Structure 1
Amino acid sequence: MDVRVLHVDGTADGEPVHTQLAARYPDLDIVHVAAEADAIELLDRERFDAVVTGHDDAFDCRTLVAAVRERDADIPIICFTSRGSEALAETLVGLGVTGYLRQDGPERLDALVERLHDAVRSNRARGHAADLSRITDLIRRVQQVVVYAESREALERRVCELLTDSEPYQFAWFGEADATGEKLVPRVSAGDDAGYLDRVTIRLDESPRGQGPGGRAYRTRRVQVASDLQTDPRFAPWTDAVDEYGYRSVIVLPILHDDELYSLLAIYADRPNAFDARERAVLTELAETIGYAIDALETEADLRERTDELARQNDRLARIIGIIAHDFRNPLAVARGRLTLAKHAAVTDEDPEEAVEHVIAADAALERLGDLIDGLLALAQGGEAARVPCSLDVLVREAWADQNIEGAYLDVVADLPTVEGDPARLRSLFGNLFSNAVRHAGPEPRVEVGTLPDGFYVADDGPGIPDDLRERVLDYGYTTSSEGIGLGLAIVHEVAIAHGWTLSLTESDSGGARFEFRWDSNGFASE
């Protein structure tokens, strides 16, 4: 059994004990120091299986034993001395030594080593039992999170919190490839990081900063472990950072399901060799469970989104059916009645001009019906808009030309931006705004288009929209004009929503209507 022993002895009698142990027992890895302060520094920095200490008038081991026990309640401590007494033994046992042996002859070295092996074996067994209990409890708590998590982010955050609540883990985080696919960036984290992730750059290629466990796990999709961060040459780019934060080992687990890599989970421990074969096996199984849960949450979110979109489509369909049932009747009835009268006038030759008037009126009714159909088709598109670069300046001028309005004036007062959007639907947006201005602002309307810090506006010099009507005018079928069909501004609102923009109505400088469109980080921002 390999045992790493810290030997602390300031005595100078005879051949040093650590020299004899190293010569006779090759399974012992002996590190010797003479001073208590050096021993404490080593124990704070490195991991040992046991401490062996001497004792005499020049070196009193009692203060060392007390200091070690303050730091580690379990590590075996054996006092091995040629000088002592029952009183000293009693005191040392009270301080927490595991064993007290007198150096009465060469054979006592065998007794010391046997006692060391027994003590280390027992301590490791207790440690394994404690680790098993800890891991079992951790898995149970994570499984509860998996069952009740409502989102992927909530699941990942809670898993990190549970991991870092469990010794010896200090820090845990989920990471994923950035937009370029070149670096690993954090999604969520928990524990003693205090800026660690801001200091390290983890690449996903074969460069030196891609040779750590994170880069390797991403490329191979296999669990990667760095057992001692201070001595692992592949961790050299981040040595200063891990020394500052006290991380000694790390495991990186790919979070996979059905060959899809969702993220990587990195767990840092405060001691070297924290991730032995048993720990790796348990954490690997845990990662598989997390991957399954994330896949289920992503599938559920996608299904929810599809369901919501279907509900929105059904809602649009219901509105369209309502508009058809309500608004198609009138122009159809007008057209049918006028054509009947025109046919009667033509047959009886009573008044040819009257027949022409009836035909013109019927044509107007059918044109209104055509407008209704065009509007309903625009509304039926619904959903999120396409994303291609669109020059608002070009679309504004094209939509204005479509109106073919004599006497109307368009004033584009600033360079309009290029946005990501659907050009056909944006042209429809501007066309309906211009049509609305012409309908309400008189025969020679003036329309102004300009920019906002986070969007653009369209304003006219008409009578404006009263405060109490500014929300209602965006509803389907609402109109204040006998010539309107109540779809134009509803279409404008629908197109704005599809692009992730907000639409607000206010008063223009001339007292007319002003429509303001704004985007944010979730909408189609300008380039």
Structure 2
Amino acid sequence: MTTEPDPEGIRVLYVDDEPNLAEESAGRLERSDDRLDVETAIGASRALDRLDGGIDCVVSEYDVAERDGLELLDLVVDRDPDLPFILFTDEGSEEIASEAIARGAAGYLPKREDEGRYDLLARRIANAVDRSRDRGARKRRDRITTAIREINRVLIDARTREGINEEVCRTLTGSAFYRFAWIGAVDEETERVIPRAAAGIEEGYLDSIDVTADDRPTGRGPGGRALREGSIAVSQAVESDADFEPWREEALERGYRAVAAAPLAYKDTNYGVLCVYANHENAFGESERELLSELADTIAHAYNRIDIREAYRNQYRELFEEAPVMFAFTRRENGKPTIDDCNELFAERLGYSREDLRGRPLADVYTEESAEILLDGGGYERALSGDFSRESRTLLGSGGEEIETMLRATPRRNGGGEVIGTHALYVDVTDRSRLEELEAIRERMGFALDATDSILFEIDLETGVETRHGPFERLYGIPSIRAETSGEFYERCVHPDDREELATLQESIDADTATVGCEFRTHPDRGEVRWIRFEAYVSTGPDGTPERLVGLDTDITAQKRRQQELERQNERLEEFASIVSHDLRNPLNVAVGRTELASEDCDSPHLEAVENAHDRMQDLIEDLLTLAREGDEVRAVEPVALTEVCERCWNRIDAGGATLEVEVDGTIEADRSRVQQLLENLFRNSVEHGGEGVSVTVGDPDGGEGFYVADDGPGILEEDREDVFEAGFSTAESGTGFGLRIVKQVVDAHGWSIDVTEGDEGGARFEITDVTRA
């Protein structure tokens, strides 16, 4: 696998109007910090030409060729407001420094004749770049999270894979930071990845490249590796990644600098791969890769749901086209019933083709006794009037054999509501046991429809007459007999704002239409307004002309309400997060910059307290954002090795002289990123309260599946133990009061339990139990 470039390196552009001085300063900076890679630019124009997206910080003299430092600062901020800019100059003043900070500079440092000045400048550069990268990572994560939420809303109602693919690519390139995105599927014979959808800046890229899922050079990039390994794969530096050589030239021409690919797989089904492209190197950090992996899993789940729905539709089509009962449509012609159409079983059972029976008098396929009941005994008239339940009829086959049936007939109407014939359903009862079986099936179907708030319907596209089974009155508020045609149904049962869409859908059906569907609301005058999902397949005649719709109306009101409430909650969280992220951070950044300037002009003990207050405010903002954006959510549950994750989290906190001892082993089923939040906050809590020499232990609890985190610090008073998980509660002056609230949030999201007790060494002990071992 390709090794990722070191993300800790810092590329600096040093701007001056004296080449020798610029080279000397660049060398001194690189000697001060080996992370710095310093390039020089002579004059403002050359500096602007070098801003290719790979520069991490600009350092400039005030007096440079063509423009002064403040003018160059304005141009840099206009091009990239997140790129740190530091004035390092012989010519300057407090007025210039204040103006630079106000215009967005990350710092101002006057030159002096001492070697330590470059050490100080190197530290300023590193701090400014660290803050910029943190802001950039948060901004990218926020934008990507927003894009994924938009995609998830679309996936709820998606009907086709094509629609999903187009929406995913469009949203990722329109709402997130990605320059280009595409989705492809593997051709099983050639192992080539065939593009299915794409969006963004492409300019023929997919036409000029070849990607495969095998181990050839064309399969060693992110797309091929993701498909083979079943996990996300990245190329963090297109320009230097040896495995990306087959596509490098085409990619660089279009501004692609980093690529990530995530497999689209559900259980044993591999649907393809999602590929996204960024315009700068090292674009895909750990959290961003996790988000893309989760998005890919969600897309694959949506594909699977569509596959299941299509299978159900095919079953419905088979049920009605090849139903185990015989049915026919009749029309009145010269006062007598004529067969207008029938299903295959009716024709086969009688020994005819459907073409043979169309236009034939119904009495021709009845025995004399049954024909007499039909014509002279008022049988057909009762069916036309709707006064018909079940009656026995004997049909006559083409070879003269008699077929005993049970008949159920209802009126058939045209678009104007005029009765033009009948719907006739015949159940072959020559074998009585079959009748009993069919009757049981009918009862079970009625129970299932009633229990699921669904209505099985059939719509004659020529007449508009609708036949229904199920709890119609409960869903629509009126008896089914009051809305026997589509026109009556629209007027009496459908919300006025939704009628046109439903009517247009039905009118748009043509010979190429296989299925139709939409969602609509019920009429507000019929009681509580409900949301209904309408799904149907199109039944055609021998010439391919659409004749009937057969499908289901299902009450989805509860689902809609949950969806709307979720959207409202998301909007409130986004509003809160925006206030915290922008309206608080902006003045805080100004305050931090002003404090740095003040510390250069005077040596006051009060400044350290101000800096500590700024750090505490920054911690509060980060914790508030974690609480607001993560919530009680577990995204992807996977095996997490406890020893590895504990050591990783300890290395990510400022532990000072504290020590960690991990006495727990094994693997748990959990969301890795949320477990990291839990452990980092518990470790910080121990260090904040226990001091420099505190010892922290992670071990197995007694009598429970899980783990504990304990320390030998001062512990938690018994009367405070019930309150420590409340937001804002803290016994440390430097604590935010939200760290343990985040811990409780992660525990609840997983369905675990947590207790606070006294440790063996007298400190605090947090026991997490009910954890599932992998």
Shorter-chain TM band:
0.5 to 0.7
Pick aligned residue for 2:110 from 74, 77, 102: 102
Q: Which one of the candidate residues 333, 342, 345 is aligned to 1:317?
A: 345
Residue 269 of structure 1 is matched in structure 2 by 278
Alpha-carbon distance in structure 2 between the residues aligned to 1:159 and 1:242:
21
One-letter amino acid of the structure 2 residue matched with residue 111 of structure 1: L
The answer for the alignment partner of 2:56 in structure 1 is 49
How far apart are 1:271 and its partner, in Å? 1.5
Shift of 1:2: 4.4
Report the Cα distance in structure 2 between the residues aligned to 1:270 and 1:318, rounded to whole angstroms.
Answer: 65
Give TM-score, length-normalised by structure 2: 0.41
**C-alpha distance 15-311 of structure 1, shift in aligned 2 (>3 A):** closer
Given the alignment of the two structures, is residue 180 of structure 1 paired with residue 208 of structure 2, yes or no? no
Deviation at 1:221, TM superposition (A): 2.3
Counterparts of 1:151 and 1:43 in 2: how far apart (Å)?
A: 43
Indicate whether 1:151 and 2:160 are aligned: yes
Q: Is the 8 A contact 1:255 1:288 kept in 2?
A: yes
- Structure 1: gaps of 5 or more residues: 334-365, 374-492, 498-527
Write the deviation string for residues 378-411 of structure 1: whole angstroms up to 9, x where unpaired: xxxxxxxxxxxxxxxxxxxxxxxxxxxxxxxxxx
| 1:257-277 CA distance string (max 9 Å, x none) | 012101111111111111111
Name the structure 2 match of 1:78.
86
Question: Separation in 2 of the partners of 1:296 and 1:105?
Answer: 70
For the 8 Å contact 2:43–2:65, the answer to whether it is kept is no
Q: Structure 2: how far apart are the matches of 1:268 and 1:295?
A: 26
TM-score by length of 1: 0.59
Check whether the contact 2:367–2:402 (CA below 8 A) recurs between aligned residues: no
Aligned to 2:250: 241
| Alpha-carbon separation, structure 1, partners of 2:93 and 2:189 | 71
Amino acid at match of 1:18: A
Q: 1:369 aligns with which of 399, 422, 434?
A: 399
How far 1:19 moved relative to its partner? 0.8
2:14 aligns with one of 7, 26, 44: 7
Maintained 8 Å contact 1:328/1:369:
no
Structure number having the greater helix percentage = 1
Change (3 A) 1:42 1:323: same
- From 269, 288, 296, the equivalent of 2:297 is 288
Aligned partner of 1:65 in structure 2 is: 73
Does structure 1 retain, via aligned residues, the 8 Å contact 2:32–2:122? no
Deviation, structure 1 residue 326: 5.8
Instruction: Check conservation: 1:168, 1:271, Cα contact below 8 A.
Output: no
Matches of 1:294 and 1:272, distance apart in 2? 32
* Separation (CA, whole Å) in 2 of partners of 1:247 and 1:121: 24
Output the CA distance in 2 between the equivalents of 1:14 and 1:249: 31
Q: CA RMSD in A?
A: 3.2
Aligned: 1:165 with 2:174: yes
- Which one of the candidate residues 148, 155, 165 is aligned to 1:139? 148
Which AA in structure 1 matches 2:120? A
Distance in 1 between residues matched to 2:277 and 2:139, nearest whole Å: 19
Higher RCO (CA-CA < 8 Å; seq separation 6+): 1
How far, CA to CA, are the matches of 1:291 and 1:183 in structure 2? 20
Question: What is aligned with 1:306?
Answer: 315
Q: Counterpart amino acid of 2:16?
A: D
The answer to whether the 8 Å contact 2:145/2:291 transfers is no
**Residue 50 of structure 1 aligns to which amino acid in structure 2?**
C
Q: CA deviation at 1:176?
A: 0.7
CA distance in 1, matches of 2:200, 2:101: 37
Cα distance in 1 between the residues matched to 2:227 and 2:368: 65
Cα offsets for 1:273-293 (capped at 9, x unmatched): 111111001110111111111
Aligned-residue sequence identity (percent) comes to 35
SS in structure 1 opposite 2:228? helix
- One of 105, 113, 121 as aligned partner of 2:122: 113
1:61–1:313 distance in 2 versus 1, CA, 3 Å: same
Aligned to 1:487: none
Q: Distance in 2 between matches of 1:372 and 1:211?
A: 71
The code of the aligned residue for 1:288 comes to: D
Question: 2: CA distance between counterparts of 1:290 and 1:284?
Answer: 10
* Alpha-carbon spacing, 1:57–1:224, altered in 2? closer, same or farther (3 Å): closer
Please give the secondary structure, in 2, of the residue aligned with 1:261.
strand
Partner Cα separation in structure 2 for residue 308 and residue 140 of structure 1: 35
Q: Which amino acid aligns with 2:93?
A: S
State the one-letter code of the partner of 1:278: S
1:86-97 maps to which residues of 2 (within 5 A)?
86-93=94-101, 95-97=103-105
How many angstroms apart in 2 are the aligned matches of 1:320 and 1:164?
56
Cα gap change, 1:56 to 1:304, in 2 (>3 Å): same
Q: What is the distance in 1 between the residues matched to 2:90 and 2:402? A: 107
Q: CA deviation at 1:124?
A: 2.5
**Could you tell me whether the CA contact under 8 Å between 1:168 and 1:274 is conserved in 2?**
no
